């Protein structure tokens, strides 16, 4: 295949204390900004953010994010951006804040700086925003014409957040290589400029994402639990955010995310984080694609060691009926789901067989460990 396409955020910066230098980076893009900030982040870091912008000579207004990335909130913030005639949007916070900032910036073709305060998913670097309904249910993915100008992450901020977010980020990053390979083998498309085959660069990044998780994931979790920033934590922040972000966008998603999306219709999974559900989806993908035992065991032991779900009970689906699981599986096979990007044979039956097999394996492995 001769076709291929690559895309990604223009600049990625990760450094301890970079929160105090966001203004300097913003000054390279313009002189006025609207900051969209998570409420508790604004309370905790608002003063430092304001100082960073005023020191750099960038006029900045900060607006508290309303909590849901839906049309009404995007319109409210867009109106504020319009009234202030700002040149850039700066989104500071978790996934929904970041996605809202992307949508507001797109509204007026403004410059965009993304400042993730947790490393829980690979969304920040991408030109994709997930839109929700007011009640929190998923609306649709929006593909933006441009990537963020900057993604700036301060590990000193990330380490303050609960470790569960970093672990979930590793779950999301765990999907990247396996789903990239599934797309490569199936000859399916990535998310760049309407969809092309994955470039060598994308596959290499996805592969390196996996290597980094296997090398540094366990040590990073332990260090983060103790509030310590070590080289392993720094590497995992990059893997979760940059490597996984460039990897999924340039190579495509597959069964792991399809499983995530399908199971998300079941309310039992609503307390689970994106990367936690997707990690179980990785195990489902490996079983469905008939990958070698060593590979399946490597993925299981990684999930077990860092505390990602490996049984249905872990996912909150321990008491879910067969019918409900079948509903989730059917949703995972919807026409627009990435589940189809694989060489595996797909049906509700084959997907359910893999879901139950992973659960049986997960329980068996745990019993063996306890005895």
Summarize as ranges the residues that interact with Zn ion (CB under 5 A): 172
Q: Does 172 participate in catalysis according to the annotation? A: yes
Least distance in Å: CB of 253 to Zn ion? Answer: 7
185 among known catalytic residues: no
CB contact burial 91-121 (16+ within 10 A = b; e otherwise): bbbbbbbbbbbbbbbbbeebbbbbbbbbbbb
Q: Note if 257 is an active site residue.
A: yes
**Smaller CB separation from Zn ion, 154 or 172:** 172
Closest CA to 340 of 285, 291, 270: 285
Q: Which is nearer to Zn ion, 26 or 129 (CB)?
A: 129
Q: Which is nearer to Zn ion, 35 or 256 (by Cβ)?
A: 256
Can 274 be counted among the known catalytic residues? yes
- Inter-helix orientation angle 244-251/163-186, to 10°: 30
Residue 2's contacts (CB-CB under 8 Å, 6 or more residues apart) are none
- Closer residue to Zn ion, CB minimum distance, 104 or 174: 174
User: Which residues have a Cβ under 8 Å from the Cβ of 265 and sit 6 or more positions away?
Assistant: 327, 328, 331
Q: How many CA atoms lie within 13 A of 361 on its CB side?
A: 22
Distance, CA of 107 to CA of 31 (rounded, Å): 19
> Which position among 25, 147, 210, 274 bears the catalytic label?
274
Catalytic-role residue among 172, 216, 314, 359: 172
Q: Which residues of 200-218 are buried (b: 16+ CB within 10 A; e: fewer)?
A: eebbbbbbbbbebbeebbb
In the complex, minimum distance from the CB of residue 86 to Zn ion, in angstroms, rounded to a whole number: 30
Of 42 and 98, nearer to Zn ion (C-beta) is: 98
CB closer to Zn ion, 87 vs 244: 244
State the nearest-atom distance from the C-beta of 120 to Zn ion, in Å: 10
| Residue 315 C-beta: closest distance to Zn ion, Å | 16
Q: What angle do CA 304, 310, 312 make, to 5 degrees?
A: 150
Q: Is 4 helix (H, G, I), strand (E, B) or coil?
A: coil
Nearer to Zn ion, 155 or 169 (CB): 169
Question: How many angstroms separate the CA atoms of 92 and 105, rounded?
Answer: 13
Smallest distance from Zn ion to CB 122, Å: 6
What kind and span of H or E run contains 65? none
List 25, 147, 210, 260, catalytic entry: 260
* Nearest approach, Cβ of residue 123 and Zn ion (Å): 7
- How far is the C-alpha of 126 from the C-alpha of 281, rounded, in Å? 21
Nearest CB to Zn ion, comparing residues 52 and 341: 341
Q: Tell me the closest approach of the beta carbon of residue 128 to Zn ion, in angstroms.
A: 10
Q: How is residue 163 written in tokens? A: 């470790």
Say which DSSP state 19 is in.
G
The distance of closest approach from Cβ of residue 15 to Zn ion in the complex, given in angstroms and rounded to an integer, is: 25
The residues pairing with 90 across neighbouring beta strands, listed in sequence order, are 35, 113
User: 313: number of CA atoms within 13 Å, CB side?
Assistant: 5
What is the Cβ-side half-sphere exposure of residue 88, based on CA atoms within 13 angstroms? 25
Indicate the residue whose CB is closest to Zn ion: 172
So which residues are the catalytic ones? 172, 257, 260, 274
């Amino acid at each position: 295949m001769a076709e291929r396409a690559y895309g990604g955020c223009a600049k990625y910066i990760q450094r301890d204390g970079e929160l105090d230098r966001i203004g300097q980076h913003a000054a390279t893009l313009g002189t006025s900004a609207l900051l969209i900030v998570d409420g508790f982040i604004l309370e905790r870091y608002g003063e430092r953010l304001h100082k960073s912008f005023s020191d750099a000579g960038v006029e900045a207004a900060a607006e508290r994010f309303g909590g849901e990335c839906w049309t009404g909130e995007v319109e409210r913030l867009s109106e504020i951006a319009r009234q202030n005639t700002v040149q850039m949007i700066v989104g500071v916070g978790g996934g929904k804040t970041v996605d809202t900032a992307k949508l507001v910036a797109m509204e007026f073709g403004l410059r965009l700086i993304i400042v993730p305060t947790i490393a829980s998913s690979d969304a920040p670097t991408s030109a994709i925003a997930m839109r929700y309904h007011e009640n929190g249910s998923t609306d649709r993915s929006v593909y933006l014409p441009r990537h963020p100008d900057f993604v700036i992450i301060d590990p000193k901020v990330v380490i303050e957040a609960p470790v569960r977010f970093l672990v979930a980020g590793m779950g999301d990053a765990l999907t990247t290589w396996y789903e990239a390979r599934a797309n490569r083998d199936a000859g399916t498309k990535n998310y760049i400029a309407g969809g092309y085959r994955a470039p060598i660069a994308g596959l290499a990044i996805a592969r390196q994402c996996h290597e980094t998780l296997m090398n540094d994931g366990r040590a990073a979790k332990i260090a983060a639990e103790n509030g310590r920033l070590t080289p392993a934590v720094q590497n995992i922040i990059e893997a979760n955010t940059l490597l996984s972000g460039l990897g999924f966008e340039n190579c495509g998603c597959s069964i792991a995310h399809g499983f995530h999306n399908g199971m998300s219709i079941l309310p039992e999974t609503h307390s689970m984080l994106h990367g936690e559900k997707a990690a179980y989806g990785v195990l489902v993908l490996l079983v469905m694609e008939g990958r070698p035992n060593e590979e399946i065991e490597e993925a299981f032991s990684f999930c077990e060691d860092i505390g990602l779900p490996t049984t249905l009970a872990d996912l909150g689906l321990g008491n879910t009926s067969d019918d409900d699981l079948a509903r989730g599986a059917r949703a995972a096979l919807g026409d627009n789901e990435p589940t189809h990007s694989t060489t595996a044979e797909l049906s509700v039956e084959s997907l359910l067989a893999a879901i139950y097999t992973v659960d049986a394996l997960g329980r068996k492995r745990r019993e063996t460990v306890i005895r």
